């Protein structure tokens, strides 16, 4: 009687084809692909709002047109000709080509491709026994719904991270015996290629070297642990000594050497050092700000739920193994350690959140895949197709539900630039009225001004805060948004005679210019305001606002205009005309519509018909707005 053969760890199961095929497996995978495509499109089709996307597009366009790596800055007023350190050049060119070919829908095309790569990486991280359609669908849906699709080259890091996890898991399954050099090379080649491509596309690629180092550390630790059950459970099967040493010394070194073949050489390793070392910049750059657990729960509930579920499943499965022993668990210290490390990093920097999600999706999928395999083995063959069909139907319904819930926070289902975030009308006005040369722009608007205004317009600053602009300069510029003395000092340096200010609610900048007699407000929209020096631009005197002295507090200007209208009959039509200009610039603006209705109400019976028409427009724009209810109450009190 032969001795029983021990079962291998599911994480070490070879990916060779199994002797039997699951019923209707191809049809199940087609359904999964269609479901994931639908979820991806539903989440990706949103108005474009990223303030850095425009300068990435301009950079990609210029690099492609000139066939140049753009070694110096061509865009800014004060730093033109300064060295332009590492940039996501290949990623920028990819964005430019996609948008050139498909318009802004090209961003959705890239989102779909990135999600395909990410889901493929997630599937590759699972052994064949764990790789079940239901499992991949649920884990991928959770990860997609918990994150967002970056509208910049960081999208490529978002996809490269799970792809590298899958490639390293594939290598780990291959490197469990005394394999020869050719087999080792074949096992590591996919991971090396993914890492090299990542370096070309986005600066977050150094994270991949950490994953290589973790793999090498795991292999060495597994070698030291030998065949002891606890070591095999936590570290995986022990490789041969020469395999562990070769991977530890060779794979990481080869990955680093390959990475040097990129448009910026070794500088890709140090690109974010200035931001990381500047406390002030970390306060203003959102992705470098901390994300404590309380804020993670409040603002990213899907992400928090996925991380908590994955951590609970992983630790629970390890606890079960320690109690019952038997077959090795599907997850090991690499999975849990990476998940805990990225969770800790996310609480210090929000930029780690997308990586946390796929670090959570992989161990969760492994635990679910192991459970699904056990259920499948326990089920009787005649019932297995029915069980699989019901499970897949439930998973599809869950994916649709999660996608719908996540969709609610993504904005309108459309592909276009968000006019309430980009200074579209402001740049059109500047171009039509001949404003060019250096502009004193808000940091968040520099990217769009660079994209649509260059070469006629030279920006003061934009999102290249860790590539061109010194941190001290960026901090000073941000402070100059609120402090007139710093603003004046910078105008002595660049000679700018016009300013592009942010007017997004809670991000209004340069408000002091509206009260400075040397400057005139000549354009107002929901996203941006334009100011000009009166002495330098007398031709714009006709466009200067007379009553608005607080672009974010329009009621103050309205009251002053109404008071002046009681002394000067010509003030009333001038006030109404200014407010109508603002409504015309931003037809969906509650502030502009509300200010117009408020002014017409205060101006008395002569303007009742105009007031009622303006209220009807406001009701069509925002039927549930608080300002509408307040104005309706005012009309009822003073009809």
Chunked in runs of 10, what are the mean pLDDT values of the chain (639 residues)? 42 46 70 90 90 96 95 95 88 97 96 96 92 90 88 94 95 81 87 93 90 87 84 82 74 82 78 61 74 90 91 92 84 91 92 93 92 57 61 76 72 85 96 97 96 97 89 92 97 97 94 95 97 97 92 90 91 95 95 94 92 92 87 82
Strands 437-441 and 498-502, bridge-based pairing = parallel
Q: What confidence score (pLDDT) does residue 388 get?
A: 66
β-sheet bridge partners, residue 524 = 529
CB crowding 269-298: b at 16 or more within 10 Å, else e:
bebbebbeebeebbebbeebeebeeeebee
Two structure tokens written together for 266: 């070794």
Cα dihedral 79, 80, 81, 82 in deg (nearest 10): 20
Q: Are 300 and 286 in contact (CB under 8 A)?
A: no
* Amino acid 383: pLDDT: 52
Pairing of strands 519-524, 498-502: unpaired
Contact 285/275 with Cβ under 8 angstroms?
yes
Q: Beta-strand (E) ranges in 331-421?
A: none
pLDDT at 355: 95
Distance CA 297, CA 314 (A): 20
Strands 457-459 and 498-502: unpaired
Which value, to the nearest 10 degrees, does the dihedral of the CA atoms of residues 561, 564, 570, 573 take?
20
Pairing of strands 498-502, 528-533: antiparallel
256: which 2 tokens?
A: 């680093």
Give pLDDT, residue 264.
Answer: 80
pLDDT digits (tens, 9 = 90+) for 285-305: 777 788 899 999 888 888 999
User: pTM of the prediction?
Assistant: 0.89
In order of 28, 356, 397, 501, the CA distances from 23 in angstroms are 9, 34, 21, 62
The per-residue pLDDT for 386 is 65
pLDDT at residue 273 in the model: 56
Query: Residues 484, 284, 450, CA angle at the centre, nearest 5°?
Result: 75
Cβ partners under 8 Å of residue 305, min gap 6: 142, 146
294 CB contacts (<8 Å, ≥6 apart)? none
pLDDT for residue 374: 59
Three state DSSP letters for 397-440:
HHHHHHHHHHHCCCCCCCCCECCCCCCHHHHHHHHHCCCCEEEE
Domain ranges within the chain, ordered by starting residue? 41-266+285-407, 424-543, 554-637
Q: How far apart are the first and last CA of the chain?
A: 100
């Amino acid at each position: 009687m032969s001795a029983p053969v021990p079962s291998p760890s599911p994480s070490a199961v070879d990916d060779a084809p199994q002797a039997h095929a699951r019923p209707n497996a191809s049809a199940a995978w087609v359904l999964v692909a269609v479901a994931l495509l639908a979820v991806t499109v539903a989440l990706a089709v949103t108005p474009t709002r990223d303030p850095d996307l425009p300068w990435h597009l301009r950079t990609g366009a210029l690099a492609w047109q000139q066939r140049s790596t753009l070694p110096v800055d061509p865009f800014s007023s004060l730093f033109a000709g300064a060295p332009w350190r590492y940039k996501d050049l290949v990623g920028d060119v990819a964005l430019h080509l996609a948008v050139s070919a498909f318009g802004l829908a090209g961003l959705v095309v890239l989102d779909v491709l990135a999600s395909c790569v990410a889901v493929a990486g997630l599937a590759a991280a699972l052994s064949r026994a764990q790789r079940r359609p239901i499992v991949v669908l649920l884990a991928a849906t959770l990860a997609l719904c918990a994150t967002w699709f970056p509208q910049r080259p960081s999208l490529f890091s978002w996809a490269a991270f799970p792809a590298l996890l899958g490639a390293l898991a594939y290598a780990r399954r291959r490197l469990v015996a005394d394999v020869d050099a050719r087999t080792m090379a074949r096992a590591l080649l996919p991971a090396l290629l993914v890492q090299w491509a990542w370096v070309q596309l986005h600066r977050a690629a150094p994270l991949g070297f950490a994953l290589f180092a973790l793999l090498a550390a795991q292999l060495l630790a597994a070698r030291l642990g030998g065949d002891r059950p606890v070591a095999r459970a936590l570290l995986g099967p022990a490789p041969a000594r020469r395999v562990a040493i070769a991977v530890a010394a060779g794979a990481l070194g080869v990955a680093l050497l390959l990475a040097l073949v990129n448009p910026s050489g070794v500088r890709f390793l140090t690109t974010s050092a200035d931001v990381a070392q500047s406390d002030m910049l970390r306060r203003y750059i959102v992705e470098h700000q901390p994300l404590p657990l309380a804020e993670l729960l409040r603002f990213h509930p899907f992400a928090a739920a996925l991380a908590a579920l994955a951590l609970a499943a992983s630790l629970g499965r390890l606890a079960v193994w320690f109690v019952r022993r038997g077959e090795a668990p599907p997850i090991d210290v690499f999975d849990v350690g990476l998940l805990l490390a990225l969770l800790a990093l996310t609480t210090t920097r929000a930029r780690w959140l997308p990586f946390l999600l796929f670090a959570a999706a992989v161990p969760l999928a492994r635990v679910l895949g192991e459970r699904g395999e056990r259920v499948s083995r326990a089920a009787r063959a005649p019932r297995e197709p029915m069980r699989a069909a019901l499970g897949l139907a439930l998973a599809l319904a869950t994916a649709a539900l999660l996608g719908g819930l996540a969709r609610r926070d993504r904005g309108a289902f459309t592909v276009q630039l968000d006019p309430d975030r980009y200074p579209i009308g402001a740049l059109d006005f500047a171009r039509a009225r001949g404003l060019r040369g250096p502009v004193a722009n808000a940091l968040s608007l520099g990217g769009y001004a660079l994209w649509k205004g260059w070469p006629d317009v030279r920006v003061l600053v934009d999102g290249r805060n860790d590539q061109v602009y010194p941190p001290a300069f960026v901090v000073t510029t941000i402070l100059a948004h609120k402090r007139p003395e710093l603003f004046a000092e910078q105008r002595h340096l660049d000679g700018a005679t016009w300013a592009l200010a942010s007017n997004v609610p809670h991000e209004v900048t340069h408000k002091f210019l509206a009260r400075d007699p040397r400057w005139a407000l000549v354009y107002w929209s929901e996203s941006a305001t334009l100011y000009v020096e009166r002495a330098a631009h007398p031709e714009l005197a006709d466009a200067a606002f007379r009553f608005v002295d607080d672009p974010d507090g329009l009621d103050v200007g309205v009251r002053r205009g109404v008071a002046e209208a009681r002394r000067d009959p010509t003030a009333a039509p001038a006030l109404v005309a200014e407010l109508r200009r603002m409504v015309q610039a931003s037809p969906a603006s509650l502030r502009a519509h509300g200010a117009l209705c408020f002014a017409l109400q205060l101006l008395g019976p002569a303007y009742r018909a105009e007031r009622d028409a303006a209220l009807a427009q406001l009701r069509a724009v925002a039927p549930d707005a608080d300002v509408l209810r307040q104005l309706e109450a005012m009309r009822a009190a003073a009809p």
